[in-house]
Amino acid sequence: MPRKWTGLNLASTSLFFVTLSACLLQVVFTSNMFGVTVKNSGMTGTGTTAGPTKRTHSPMVTGTSVLGVKYNGGVMLAADTLASYGSLARFKDVTRLNAVGDYTILGAGGEFSDFQAIQEILEKMDQEDKNADDGFSHSPAELFNYLRAIFYSKRNKFNPLWNEVLVGGFKDGKAFLGHLDMIGTAFSDEVMATGFGSYLALPIMRKRWHANMTEGEARALLEDCMRVLFYRWGLREGGREGGRQGEGGSDCRALNRIQIAKADASGVLVSQAFTLSTVWDLASFANPKAGMDTDGSW
């Protein structure tokens, strides 16, 4: 009787091949594509016991949501200035928004060092443009596609850039806003958000967006959304239920100190950080117990 490939046999065989190829890949690609070499501790055998970790497992210093909106004549991004270390609000004055070249702005949540690596890559590309000195500068859509290719290829090597990125820009009268995540999913839309902003901010942004938004309306919308994120995005315990761990900085809190980046016909700009006003003295919150001790609230 011929032996059949039962489910378990097939699965374990595939697993073996995947593990073998993963080990092989790790040995071959020890220097990543940015020219920064990863230190080897001397383990160079193929398919042998585990050596030092050579790929990203989980993010360490993370940023949270970035929000983006296209308005009439430009694109605006907003992000807070917090980089968390797990549950610690470690760096409270970082810039998670960046302007690249003459036309593009980008903001990222997730692992902050990977965001710095992205900035270096795009800076290099912009410098090549300048060195060519032919008046051409890459458009936001082109930078977006370039980043997408990088994200996807790194993900295929099981060593992702652990970020959720918004790329925005304005060139030749056309606004662009795109969203990239760590596995290389790329979309473009009128309003976008990363991380927890997609649950708390995107509903409001979708409702209030319209085709002829002015810059003032866009800014007010983004500030309102950042305020809601500050009110309602506290610390998350444990991992994200049912999703990828630490995706886009879901393991940290939000801050009410924010920055705005803008790209329009006159160029790109990242604003100074400023603090949002918040309201904490609503009468109904101040006295929910209505003077009773046993009314079912804490």
Partner 1 sequence: MHGESGKQSLRGALKEDVPGFNFDNYARNASLPTETTMHLPSAMKTGTTIAGVTFKDGVVLGADTRATGGTEVADKNCEKIHYLAPNIYCCGAGTAADTEKTTEIISSQLDLLRLSTGSPSRVVTACTMLKRMLFRYQGHVSAALVLGGVDSSGAHLYQIYPHGSTDKNPYVTMGSGSLAAMSVFETGFKEDMTEAEAIELVKEAILAGIYNDLGSGSNVDLTIIRKNGEVTVLRGYLTPNDVEPLRTSYKRPAALSVPAGATAVLSTHMDPARPGLEGLVIEDATAMTF
Applying CB under 8 A, which of residues 202, 213, 222, 258 lies at the interface with partner 1?
202
- The CB-of-291 to partner 1 minimum distance in angstroms stands at 9
Applying CB under 8 A, which of residues 117, 186, 204, 269 lies at the interface with partner 1?
204
Q: Rule CB under 8 A: is residue 209 a binding residue for partner 1?
A: no
Q: Rule CB under 8 A: is residue 232 a binding residue for partner 1?
A: yes
List 13, 19, 56, 62, catalytic entry: 56
- The CB-of-298 to partner 1 minimum distance in angstroms stands at 7
Q: Map residues 64-103 to x or -, x wherever contact with partner 1 holds by CB under 8 A.
A: ----------------------------------------
- The CB-of-218 to partner 1 minimum distance in angstroms stands at 15
- The CB-of-7 to partner 1 minimum distance in angstroms stands at 9
For residues 256-282, one letter each, b for 16 or more C-beta atoms within 10 angstroms of the residue's C-beta and e for the rest, the string is bbbbbbbbbeeebebeebeeeeeeeee
Catalytic amino acids?
Answer: 56
Q: Which residues bind partner 1 (CB under 8 A)?
A: 199-204, 206-207, 224-225, 227-228, 231-232, 282-285, 288-290, 292, 294-298
